[in-house]
Amino acid sequence: MSPAEAFNTSPGNHKKVILVVDDEPGIREFLATYLSSKNFKVLTAADGREAQEKWRSCDGKIDLLLTDVIMPECNGKALAKLLTIQNPALKVIFMSGFLPEELAEESLDCPFFRKPFHPVELLEVIRETLH
């Protein structure tokens, strides 16, 4: 879904917008399909650079950043910091299959899911985080 399509609804029908950032195409596509089926608008990005482009094209009108922590060029923690500076109300959930010592789970300050995870558990935390 393009960023423009994500906001092509009437105000009464506003769906929460989630930006899913993961360098693994299978995970990104699965999460986009799954979360779309649960009545969310989903934008995807393969890395931090692409995520920032999506962010700019939406004027930051994204409700939740769901990001992998370990990615080339810009890790998820740095991406979250950059975007929450621009919008302190942005909610963030991290996910990763591996966390190096310098990015310990305790240092993330947001919900964290270790891959692989059950999508229903993730959905519960997304709903809690957004409400």
What are the start-end ranges of the H helices in 1-131?
A: 3-6, 25-37, 48-57, 76-86, 119-130
Q: How many domains is the chain partitioned into structurally?
A: 1
Is 91 within the bounds of a domain? yes
Residue with tokens 């942005």: 90
Is 99 within the bounds of a domain? yes
Q: What is the CATH number of the domain that holds 78?
A: 3.40.50.2300
Is 52 within the bounds of a domain? yes
Is 66 within the bounds of a domain? yes
The residue that leads in pLDDT, 17 or 11, is 17
pTM of the model: 0.86
pLDDT confidence of residue 102: 55
Amino acid found at 85: I
Yes or no: say if 42 and 35 are a contact pair by the CB < 8 Å rule.
yes
CA 104 to chain centre: 19
- For residue 93, the enclosing domain spans 16-130
pLDDT single digits (tens) 36-71: 999 999 999 999 999 999 999 999 999 999 999 988
Is 48 within the bounds of a domain? yes
Is 60 within the bounds of a domain? yes
What is the rounded average pLDDT for all residues in the chain?
86
Yes or no: say if 59 and 90 are a contact pair by the CB < 8 Å rule.
no
Residue with tokens 């979360």: 35
Above 70 in pLDDT, residue 101? Answer: no
Is 23 within the bounds of a domain? yes
Is 84 within the bounds of a domain? yes
Above 60 in pLDDT, residue 3? Answer: no
